[in-house]
Amino acid sequence: MTRQIWAALLRRFGQTVEIRSPNAEPLAVRAFLQPILEANRFQKVPTPLGSRRDDRFLYLGPPQVPLEPGVSQLVCRGQLYFVQSAQPVGLRTTHHWQAVLRPGEESS
């Protein structure tokens, strides 16, 4: 799939996501963001202090905005997400970025 096709798909079907990185202004991009659902995995898990979220989300975004695990953060629809892992996708050139996100505290 080419960069032009990915760009068209993101423009038409993607949702607005704000990417935050240290020492940079927040950047709004169009991306796909959806939960990763697994049959044997619960979205919330018990802990000694109550339950906590253990869900993960898949991010597919534009090639020109790289994500850095442990550094980059995303906000979509008022929810903050932390980048757990990220990598560029493409054979000769990067067509898009793929990342696994974990939800954080609600954004203001």
List, for residues 68-103, the tens digit of each pLDDT value.
999 999 999 999 999 999 999 887 888 889 999 998
pLDDT of residue 55: 81
CA distance 15 to 106: 18
The domains of the chain, with CATH numbers, are 3-106 (2.40.10)
At 3, the pLDDT band (50, 70, 90 cuts) reads confident
Please give the average per-residue pLDDT across 36-56, as a whole number: 65
pTM of the predicted structure, to 2 decimals = 0.81
At 107, the pLDDT band (50, 70, 90 cuts) reads very low
**CB contact at 8 A, 29 and 74:** no
**What are the backbone angles phi and psi of residue 7, rounded to the nearest 5°?**
-60, -40
CA distance 34 to 56: 9
pLDDT of residue 23: 84
61 SS3 class: strand
| Pairing assessment for the beta strands 27-35 and 79-89 based on DSSP bridges | unpaired
